[in-house]
Amino acid sequence: FSDADYKTKGNFIKWNPAVKTAADRDAILEAVLDGHIDVIATDHAPHTFEEKSQSYLQAPSGGPLVQHALQALLDLVKQGKMTLEQMVQKTAHNTAILFQIEQRGYIREGYWADLVLVDLNKPYTVTKENILSKCGWSPFENHTFTSTIEHTLVSGLLAYTDGKIQEVGSGHRLLF
């Protein structure tokens, strides 16, 4: 997003730090790619539609971003703005290294299988019906991503498939 999106998205992209110009957005991406920024993550803050619909000064900052973060990054990969390897390094490997998380962040024998299986050639349009966050909205609503998340495994167990979260108790405690 950039400051130009405030016209249509308003408080729904009111975040901290604030969404700024396209040049600022591009500079952040450059800082990610040249190593000044080590990790890509999202601050998932799923405020309700009603909370975000208040006046600007009353509306809380933050948004429900975790569901579509990977797809947004994969769009950057498809656009040639980063490589798939850079994306994996910044979202998985560096997180495990920085926080010294044991047996996570890599596909290795003996490590927990935290994996996402993606169809890189199947477009996915965000609609109210496929938003999984309990807040029921997304700043990406009506946006079509170039890729679709097919399955997610957490700690080796299927946690997401067929557009639905599987209630299987798949989480395991992280060890540092």
73-104 burial code (b ≥16 CB/10 A, e <16) = bbbbbeeebbeeebbbbbbbebbbeeeeeeeb
pLDDT confidence of residue 170 = 65
Annotated active-site positions, please?
A: 43
Instruction: Extract the runs of DSSP E, i.e. beta strands, from 63-174.
Output: 115-119, 124-125, 144-145, 148-154, 157-161, 164-165
**Phi, psi for residue 25 in degrees, rounded to 5:** -60, -45
Can you give the pLDDT of all 176 residues of the chain as single tens digits? 999 999 999 999 999 989 999 999 999 999 999 999 999 999 889 999 999 999 999 999 999 999 999 999 999 999 999 999 999 999 999 999 999 999 999 999 999 999 999 999 999 999 999 999 999 999 999 999 999 999 999 999 999 998 999 987 767 899 99
> Which strands form 157-161's sheet, in the order they lie side by side?
115-119, 148-154, 157-161, 164-165
pLDDT confidence of residue 168 = 76
